[in-house]
Structure 1
Amino acid sequence: MAQENPVNGMAALKQKLLSGSMWAFLGKASTAVMVLVVNGLITRMLAQADAGLYFLGFNIALFGAYFGLLGLEQTSVKYIAEGMENQKYNQVISVIRRTSFFVACGTILVGGGYYIAAVFLFGPIYPASEIIALSAFIALWIAGNVFHLLLAEYFRGLQDIRFASIFGGFFYNVALIVGLLVLQLVSKAPISLNDVLGVTLASLIVSIITGWVILQFKLRSVKNKPVQNTDLVSNRVLYSTGWPILGVTLSSFLLQQSDLWIVGIVEDTHTVALYGAALKLTAIVMMPIIVLNAVIAPIVAAKNGQGTLRELEPILRLIGGLATLPSVGLVLLFFLFAEQIMSIAFGSIYGGASLFLILLSLKQLGDCVEWCMWDSDDDGRSA
């Protein structure tokens, strides 16, 4: 059997890294812009209290989705990529089929459990709670988020960064923006929260169906490749890999996002809207770091596989430091023009969230600095 030319192999790797990095950059950057557009449309279309409920429902649905994934989204990337790299195509198909089934079961348990708990347990205790009235929407939102997140990771495991970027948020946000604009044009009565939630779920479903159809075509080409008779990854290995990831993901989400829940408990929905809008806007402070992470992740992975990761550390420290400069500039801009920026982004009524914007932007800047504090003993895990 002819061996692959090392020079050609290195050239192919460089081309893959360059192409993947470009798609990752475009996907992250464009999605960040569109998320701001979506939130700006929602705050202008809905009453302030309803916008607060939307932000709160979004956070609950996202947390439920991470729970329903059972940590198998990142687990699937590992074993799908391993199967593709080693031409174990039966492993690729097997991992996708089984993780899809396990995640579907997890989604039913989490989404159904949330609906039952909200309606039958907390409903009688808090009969006037507005968020409980949205339980059916949120349960469906959880399910949609699960398969939306899982789909992007499947494409990532198949080493198709292009589709991973498109279906990791870009396509969904485009569909949502179009849907919201159409709703605004055709609606004669005041737009309700249920209308916006309906458009959100419809956009999510369109994105998921489109992505899964494309995934099936990609898997068909994988099935046609010669298959090695190799042992498949056992369910026990999938579980043992997924549970620690689930624990880290949930704990990280609670540390970073649970503040909106706390505000929802102690304050009214008007305050939640102000806080949620500021929280959405300050997310762009982290975007230079997130984009940088998406670009350098494959490079770090390649260097780690070659055992030469330490050679990359000085460059990563320098690039990480430079990437914080736009974040610092944004925080200074928020300090100087907080009220004006909130008013332009979300409407004049949201100018009252200027203090939230300043404090939350400082928190995000602290996260940026922490990310850039590369530890020589972390083996590149910070990336």
Structure 2
Amino acid sequence: MMVMTGRLIGIASSFAVSIALTRFLDPNEVGLYLLAYSVVFVLAAVGRLGFQQTVVRQVASSLAADNPTAANRSAWVAAEVTMLTSGLIALAVCAFGGPLFQHLFDTPSLTTAALAIGIWTFSESVRTVGAEAHRGFHDIRSATLFGEGPRNLLLLGSMSLGLSLTLINDARGAILVAAITGLAMAAASLGSLALRTWPRPNRMAGASGQRHRDALVDSLPLALGGLATVVLAQADLIIVGALKDSSSVAIYGLALRVATLVGLPALVLASITAPRIAHLHTLDKKDELEKLLRIIATAATLPVAAILLIFMAAGGPILSLMFGSSYEAGWLPLVILSAGCVVNVAMGLSAITLAMTGHQRDVALVSVFSITLMLGGSYIAGVLAGISMIAAAAAGAVVVQNVAMTYLCWRRLGILTITQILPRQVFKDLQSVRSIWVSN
């Protein structure tokens, strides 16, 4: 229940930030902020190197094996490598981001905000890995506290204050506020992790280096999977920014944000079950694991299908009511993106199941193919048509990825993750999922 509350706060706060920006800034500035947001989250996925998933599995598995020292050590290896890689990326953005943004998007605003974008990227990588380390320790409260919900809530307060006092009057000011609040959350997440694992495990220099290398080898395939997830969620908006004007970015970007409502139940249930997947796999309880996964898929699919129907009937008025009449044109992209989400949720948590059970290579291979399909398809769609075709290409690439992951999960593990179809079994699964929410 705590995870659900945190996710709901995160979604509500994110929408509130978007609404505030549309009320105080013109669509071009809103589009630039959303474009920077997408760039940050793609770069942050690179900086995490897959440790947001690896740390959960390694820590949870160590605890299942009754080895808390190894769990603490795994948490710190993940944090250290993430700080190093994301720090290097942030420095590269500060040094070379300006000319690159100018070349890709032809906008001086992002060029002058390169420093803030670099800081924002670093903070997002570190905060996420720190929060997920707590999840590996089965501390859902701390993972939620340093998750997207409180992060977005803090951003909402800071952004609202800055906008109301006219301290923020363009996209650059909004990006700077996001960078500062993100850095504060990252520091709090690492500080809490340090207190949890105190005293820090002793280590020799040579052994430490070997552990870091082993962790990287284990995590790099997952990095491709994590990068694919982010690219599949953000690359279409970046392509809109490269091919269309800033106003189109704002329309598409806000439709994309509203479409995230469709995937919310699956995201919440995935964050709850990730440690359980690793735990049940370690104990070789395959039947129990499959039952859990199908319960999750069934419980998540019903509400997302209902949300899609709402968007189909009244998506345009919803966008107009939330953001203003200028954004009503995002109705068709909203419906297309939401339909893709419904299919993906129905496929179940196959990708995270592969990641939590040691099949990182499969995740990596499918991810490379999905990224290629997304980038190529979205770019061609953007050259030949408008933002609705870009949405169709993006949704199609994500669907292909999830279908492939579902097949591989069945092939490698003998586990079927898709939602139930029979009404009687659907009813039983809905009853079962209540215990999962209550226990978390």
The answer to whether the 8 Å contact 1:52/1:276 transfers is: yes
- Equivalent residue, structure 2, for 1:3: none
Note if 1:199 corresponds to 2:177. Answer: yes
- Equivalent residue, structure 1, for 2:261: 284
- Equivalent residue, structure 1, for 2:139: 160
CA distance in 1, matches of 2:416, 2:54: 16
The answer to whether the 8 Å contact 2:10/2:151 transfers is: no
Offset at residue 219 of structure 1 (A): 2.0
Note if 1:265 corresponds to 2:267. Answer: no
Offset at residue 273 of structure 1 (A): 0.3
- Equivalent residue, structure 2, for 1:15: none
Q: 1:206 to 1:254 in 2, by over 3 A?
A: closer
Q: 1:94 to 1:292 in 2, by over 3 A?
A: closer
Deviation per CA, 1:201-229: give whole Å up to 9, x if none.
22212222233332222222x659x99xx
SS in 2 for 1:307: coil
Deviation per CA, 1:286-323: give whole Å up to 9, x if none.
11222232344444444333333224535643552343
- Equivalent residue, structure 2, for 1:344: 321
**Residue number among 11, 35, 43 corresponding to 2:14 in the alignment:** 35
- Equivalent residue, structure 1, for 2:387: none
SS in 1 for 2:307: helix
Any unmatched runs of 5+ in structure 1?
1-21
- Equivalent residue, structure 2, for 1:78: 57
Note if 1:171 corresponds to 2:155. Answer: no
CA distance in 1, matches of 2:302, 2:417: 19
Q: 1:207 to 1:78 in 2, by over 3 A?
A: same
* Higher mean C-alpha deviation, range 241-250 or range 361-370: 361-370
Offset at residue 271 of structure 1 (A): 0.2
The answer to whether the 8 Å contact 1:114/1:139 transfers is: yes
Higher relative contact order (CA 8 A, sep 6+): 1
Q: CA RMSD in A?
A: 3.0
Offset at residue 51 of structure 1 (A): 0.8
Amino acid at match of 1:262: I
Matches within 5 A, 1:1-383: 22-120=1-99, 123=102, 128-187=107-166, 191-220=169-198, 234-311=211-288, 313=290, 316-317=293-294, 319-371=296-348, 376-377=410-411, 379=413
SS in 2 for 1:131: helix
Deviation per CA, 1:209-265: give whole Å up to 9, x if none.
233332222222x659x99xxx87723311210111112222332233211111111
Deviation per CA, 1:70-93: give whole Å up to 9, x if none.
223322333333444445444344
CA distance in 2, matches of 1:129, 1:268: 14
The answer to whether the 8 Å contact 1:89/1:223 transfers is: no
Any unmatched runs of 5+ in structure 2?
350-402, 419-440
Amino acid at match of 1:198: L
Offset at residue 331 of structure 1 (A): 1.1
Q: 1:30 to 1:125 in 2, by over 3 A?
A: closer
Return the TM-score normalized by structure 1: 0.82
CA distance in 1, matches of 2:60, 2:274: 14
Amino acid at match of 1:76: V
CA distance in 2, matches of 1:137, 1:148: 16
CA distance in 2, matches of 1:125, 1:298: 40
Deviation per CA, 1:320-357: give whole Å up to 9, x if none.
23431211111111111121100122223212222222
- Share of identical aligned residues, percent? 23
* Higher mean C-alpha deviation, range 278-287 or range 210-219: 210-219
The answer to whether the 8 Å contact 2:290/2:417 transfers is: no
Q: 1:133 to 1:235 in 2, by over 3 A?
A: same
Q: 1:348 to 1:194 in 2, by over 3 A?
A: same
CA distance in 2, matches of 1:120, 1:177: 30
Offset at residue 159 of structure 1 (A): 2.3
Q: 1:246 to 1:234 in 2, by over 3 A?
A: same
The answer to whether the 8 Å contact 2:6/2:145 transfers is: yes
The answer to whether the 8 Å contact 2:50/2:219 transfers is: yes
Amino acid at match of 1:133: T
Q: How many residues align?
A: 356
Q: 1:327 to 1:67 in 2, by over 3 A?
A: same
- Equivalent residue, structure 2, for 1:13: none
* Higher mean C-alpha deviation, range 173-182 or range 100-109: 100-109
CA distance in 2, matches of 1:303, 1:125: 46
CA distance in 2, matches of 1:55, 1:354: 18
CA distance in 2, matches of 1:183, 1:315: 45
Q: 1:183 to 1:139 in 2, by over 3 A?
A: same
Amino acid at match of 1:147: V
Q: 1:296 to 1:210 in 2, by over 3 A?
A: closer
CA distance in 1, matches of 2:88, 2:416: 32
CA distance in 1, matches of 2:310, 2:86: 41
SS in 1 for 2:47: helix
